[in-house]
Structure 1
Amino acid sequence: MEQGNPKPRVALIAGVTGMVGVSLTEALKMPLALGGPWTVYGVSRRPLPIWFPSSLLDKHIILDTLDQENTHKILSPLCAQITHLFWLAKYNSPIEDVSISMNSTMLCNVLSALTSSPYSKLSHVALQTGTKQYLGPIYDPVLSTQVIPHEPPFKEDYPRLPFPNFYYALEDILFSYSKSLTYSIHRSSIIIGASSMSCHNALITLAVYALVCKHENYPFRYFGNKFTWEHFCDASDARLLAEQQIWASITNSAKNQAFNCTNGDVFTWKMLWIVLCEVFDVEYVPYDEKYRGSSVEFMKDKAEVWDRIVEENGLHKTKMEEITSYDAMDAVLNFQIQHVCSMNKSREFGFIGHANTLASIKLWIEKLREMKILP
């Protein structure tokens, strides 16, 4: 760890209302948080939702970081306070060139504002990315048909794939600041956490599908292929991602490094499906090749069903199209490779955090119920 009695640390969490943003806010404010006590500022494009633990934030900033002028106006006065930036923000577009442009602009605007003064205190940036680092632009309708992913288990020292990737662009932006601050890069797998504000929340996406099936008496069928049903996948608990990012931010040997961050175990989608059936009290339907389909197609006309579920159970008002991502789910469930990362580097550098994926599924669903997002 860093030596001596450090000066007060002030964190700015960009994307604070997402799954990891919520967990990171809670983790930084724990009495025994590494490097604490922390002052925590959060940035989001919209007001805090009612379920967010707003009392834990010392300051909340509503800001569209695509707006360069406003970003500088709001954040530059804070540059003499903020010591650590946790970058969880994400502009989601299936077109990779659009993702590169938008996400790069957001990060550049914030970094420019926070380093605009000779009195800037920013010393470290934790950047969250993911396994698109190894898979390539899997959501791009054109590029996804051309890319050949790396062989699993994915390792941090794999070379970049020869395709556009906004994760690469964000890394390059950080590298350009390497003379003035340190960084850490955190590559997640499928994130499991609790938020209705994340663009890709696999757990809510699966939960809404299960609840619609239960409400309308549809069979809860698996829409993926036989390969993913039977082969291994991994996931990243939002609490674990928060823990690793804090660790890397205050551990000298972990700085200027990229780390995978997964739970450290693996599952098959068959195993996970059984857990979902138990949690949502729906009948387990074994995989059957004859019933292959698309969750996008199945769910395209189910928005009104979700509205009824929300109303009947007194849930916070959410729109199905805003809290689910069935296009992303279809892509993941139809991989032809095992989606597994190596955690060896992270362990060798001293981070030994882990989580039980199937157990965490139940925990996070219970949390989403407490938050009145799920019934």
Structure 2
Amino acid sequence: MTQSALVVGVTGIVGRALASLLVKEGWQVAGLSRHATTQLGVTPVTADLRDGNGLTRALASIRPSHVFLCTWSRQATEAENIRVNSAMVRAVLDAVRPAGTVRHVGLVTGLKHYLGPFEAYGRGVLPQTPFREDQGRLDVDNFYYAQEDEVFAAAARDGFRWSVHRPHTIIGQAVGNAMNMGTTLAAYATLCRETGRPFHFPGSPVQWHGLTDMTDARLLARHLLWAATTPGAVDQAFNVVNGDIFRWKWMWARIAQWFGLEPAPFTAKNAGGILPLERQMADDAPLWAALAQRRGLVEPDLARLASPWHTDADLGRPIEVVTDMSKSRRLGFTDYQATDDAFFDLFGELRAHRLIP
């Protein structure tokens, strides 16, 4: 039987990687986004997730066996994040309900499940690491919890199985994505090289010296597919990271080398105060536009490539962030991805698509 998927957020980092994998695996794939995808093998479906009636009309002819929720909408407060993002999940699941074909729903959230929302990031009682799936919810408002609750309620109502996937910071390609550390660092490194500015690590001493991990979008896509097709993995939440750990003081030098840069020293002079990318890149939009014109790049709008606020939030944390994958390993998911290679693959792809010179 041919499997059919609806990938919600198909133009984002996760959705793009997942749709590509599913097409290669022979699935019928419909990709939902506000702007039509041009991805090969994917049937584009355009709708605004905040327009329930329009969404229902757009999905009227789509009969998916699997729904993958790979998107969210950033709002000004966590209360608004909860209201908007839970409503979007509810709207999708309500829209596909009449077809009666959905057997599995996969939801992508993240480590803010353990760290708390951006409003309370790294403040208060810091969670114990490595993060494990059996750690309970924090006693704070969190839109990830609200998204989960919408999936759980719809599953109880409609009888489908589900999985929740909690990646760390995701490495992958997407233009116009709200959270994209890899492309942000590529743009920053390019600007440092072009202008002669020092390539400063923008994070905290804890992140510079401590251990951490990340998630390649391609590995996350394989994890989503695995959970959706493995009987023992249904109705469970999983962490998903690459499988290696590193320190940013090592990774920063690796990234600098790829771009032909010398990393600026992380010394006592700047170790006591973070040098956030939002501040470092605040006036760089005209520089990038001029660079794009001069070097023939396809995206002159720096804001569509870089998300400094998100990179600052991740690299400014006051704790080590390490993620346990034992639950997935015990159930048979053994994929691994070296994180430096994940960055290098992304940088090469960005260059091949003329997004960086």
- TM-score by shorter chain over 0.5: yes
- Give the CA deviation at 1:267: 1.0
1:43 to 23, 32, 57: 32
Distance in 1 separating the partners of 2:280 and 2:70: 31
**CA RMSD, aligned part only?**
1.4
Q: Tell me the equivalent position of 1:228.
A: 207
Give yes or no for the alignment of 1:60 onto 2:44. Answer: yes
Q: Which amino acid aligns with 1:124?
A: H
Distance in 2 separating the partners of 1:55 and 1:327: 32
Distance in 2 separating the partners of 1:29 and 1:279: 31
Is the contact between residue 45 and residue 59 of structure 2 (CA under 8 Å) also seen in structure 1?
no
Deviates more, 1:89-98 or 1:301-310: 89-98
- Give the CA deviation at 1:100: 0.9
Q: Tell me the equivalent position of 2:17.
A: 23
- Give the CA deviation at 1:181: 0.6
Q: Tell me the equivalent position of 2:142.
A: 165
- Give the CA deviation at 1:304: 0.6
Q: Which amino acid aligns with 1:332?
A: D
Q: Tell me the equivalent position of 1:336.
A: 318
1:274 to 247, 253, 259: 253
TM-score, length basis structure 2:
0.95
Distance in 1 separating the partners of 2:308 and 2:202: 10
Distance in 1 separating the partners of 2:126 and 2:91: 31
Is the contact between residue 181 and residue 311 of structure 2 (CA under 8 Å) also seen in structure 1?
yes
Cα 1:19–1:144, aligned 2, differ >3 Å: closer, same or farther? closer
Cα deviations by residue, 1:254-293 (Å, 9 ceiling, x for unpaired): 0000010000111111111111111111122221232342
Q: Tell me the equivalent position of 1:250.
A: 229
Q: Tell me the equivalent position of 1:4.
A: none
Q: Tell me the equivalent position of 1:303.
A: 285
Q: Tell me the equivalent position of 1:120.
A: 100
Cα deviations by residue, 1:111-164 (Å, 9 ceiling, x for unpaired): 00100x2x4101110100100000001x22xx3475433211000010100001
Is the contact between residue 180 and residue 310 of structure 2 (CA under 8 Å) also seen in structure 1?
no
Q: Which consecutive residues of structure 2, in runs of 5 or more, have no partner in the other structure? A: none
Distance in 2 separating the partners of 1:167 and 1:231: 26
Give yes or no for the alignment of 1:238 onto 2:217. Answer: yes
Q: Tell me the equivalent position of 1:3.
A: none
Q: Which amino acid aligns with 1:69?
A: N
Distance in 2 separating the partners of 1:327 and 1:197: 14
Residue 256 of structure 2: SS of its match in structure 1? helix
- Give the CA deviation at 1:201: 0.5
Cα deviations by residue, 1:18-38 (Å, 9 ceiling, x for unpaired): 1111211111122xx3xxx31
Distance in 1 separating the partners of 2:286 and 2:351: 20
Q: Which consecutive residues of structure 1, in runs of 5 or more, have no partner in the other structure? A: 1-6
Residue 11 of structure 2: SS of its match in structure 1? coil
Q: Which amino acid aligns with 2:239?
A: N
Give yes or no for the alignment of 1:71 onto 2:89. Answer: no
Q: Tell me the equivalent position of 2:299.
A: 317
Distance in 1 separating the partners of 2:309 and 2:76: 10
Q: Tell me the equivalent position of 1:188.
A: 167
Is the contact between residue 210 and residue 220 of structure 1 (CA under 8 Å) also seen in structure 2?
yes
Deviates more, 1:319-328 or 1:67-76: 319-328
Distance in 2 separating the partners of 1:232 and 1:93: 30
Deviates more, 1:233-242 or 1:358-367: 358-367
Give yes or no for the alignment of 1:103 onto 2:85. Answer: yes
Is the contact between residue 134 and residue 149 of structure 1 (CA under 8 Å) also seen in structure 2?
no
Is the contact between residue 174 and residue 183 of structure 1 (CA under 8 Å) also seen in structure 2?
yes
Distance in 2 separating the partners of 1:315 and 1:241: 29
Q: Tell me the equivalent position of 1:178.
A: 155
Cα deviations by residue, 1:12-56 (Å, 9 ceiling, x for unpaired): 0000011111211111122xx3xxx310000111233xxx5x222
2:112 to 132, 140, 152: 132
